Amino acid sequence: MNRILSSLAAAGLLVCASPVFAFGTVHLLGQNAEHERITRHALGCGQAGAPAAGACFLPGALDEVAGRGGTFGAVGAPDHPANGKINDAKSHCDDGDYVAVSGYPQSEATAQAALEACRNYMISSMSAAVAAAAPLVRNGSLVDAEIPTVFNCNFNFTPGRAYCNVLEEFGVVLHAAQDFYSHSNWVDQPDASQPISLTNPAGLNHTGRAPWLDLRRSSAFPSGLMTGCYLGGLPDGTSGCPGRVTHYVLNKDKGDIDPQIGAGTTDRGKINGNFARAVEAAIDDTRDKWAQLRAALVTRYGAHDGGLMICALVSEASYARQCH
């Protein structure tokens, strides 16, 4: 959800990769660390509906995957300006816009291909997360050198300890999935007081996660699904998106999540409970993606080794070595 505006980087206002300015799931321009908060609600031990003990993330591990207080966690890495993914449409499920009106600038096939690319990116990143886990276990025991003694993953898409590599790839999956609900019309409804138009496009009004985003199986592309045009320009469409439904029109990026899910603050998010519906679907899907990763680790490495990997990923660094 928390898309950092590339235009600020051009203006010299966006932060660099220095730890002092390391906004990941940021507190900037009305954003309130939404990716971090969604991930904490979804995966943190003690949260309502979170995975059971042994599968939920303890505080130190949760800081790594979600970030803490606006720092870059794994889920925020695609928004880090140094990682080169801010304007990568597939990292954020952008540019999947199409409206069945004469002369629309993008074809339906091109719009669908953009969203399929986002889904395929999640599939490849999930596979990469599973593969990256291999060094965590050797001869039936955890490899201490592959687990940080103090949580300090960089999430800069350069190889590091296996623990960090797994979470980095998994964070890519979570970021794209969460953005799907914020950037698309899957859960939302248009403004009923206004006619359907490029600035008030139709919504699909679904509740909960999208079956199409279940990476375990294929399903038909949802009719009418779209996301907004971003194309590396300003999200209001003033660059690169003339005559198209823009990210600015559809996004539900900003709003209150803690202490409870509240109202959105974007135009689309603040009507019809659209922001809350997007957040709830993103939480639901985040839990499902974690369930998929756990199952894939067990399938690939066996119940014992896969179980050790899961235990290490969710544990405090100092306790991960006690997994057995």
Domain annotation covers residue 44 = yes
Specify the residue for token string 């050797």.
138
- Given the DSSP bridges, would you call strands 141-142 and 137-138 parallel, antiparallel or unpaired? antiparallel
**pTM of the entire predicted model:** 0.91
- What pLDDT shows up at residue 319? 65
Weakest mean pLDDT among 18-27, 94-103, 284-293: 18-27
- Please state, rounded to an integer, the average pLDDT across all residues of the chain: 88
Q: How confident is the model at residue 190 (pLDDT cuts 50, 70, 90)?
A: very high
Q: How confident is the model at residue 84 (pLDDT cuts 50, 70, 90)?
A: confident
Higher local confidence (pLDDT), 7 or 117: 117
Domain annotation covers residue 1 = no
Span 2-47, pLDDT tens digits:
454 333 333 333 333 322 222 235 544 445 789 999 999 999 999 9
Task: Please give the DSSP secondary-structure letter assigned to residue 159.
Answer: -
Burial track 233-255 (b if 16+ CB lie within 10 A, e otherwise): bbbebeeebeebbbbbbbbbbbb
List the structure tokens of 262. Answer: 């509240």
Higher local confidence (pLDDT), 150 or 285: 285
Helix axes 34-43, 274-314, angle to 10 degrees: 60
Name the E strands within the chain: 137-138, 141-142
pLDDT at 176 over 50: yes
Domain annotation covers residue 203 = yes
Domain annotation covers residue 309 = yes
DSSP for 80-97 reads: -GGGT-TT-HHHHT----
Q: How many domains does the chain have?
A: 1
Q: Which domain holds residue 249?
A: 6-320
List the structure tokens of 153. Answer: 């993953």
Specify the residue for token string 């996660």.
209
Domain annotation covers residue 43 = yes
Give the residue-averaged pLDDT of 136-157.
90
Within 10 A of 86 (CB to CB), how many other CB atoms are there? 20
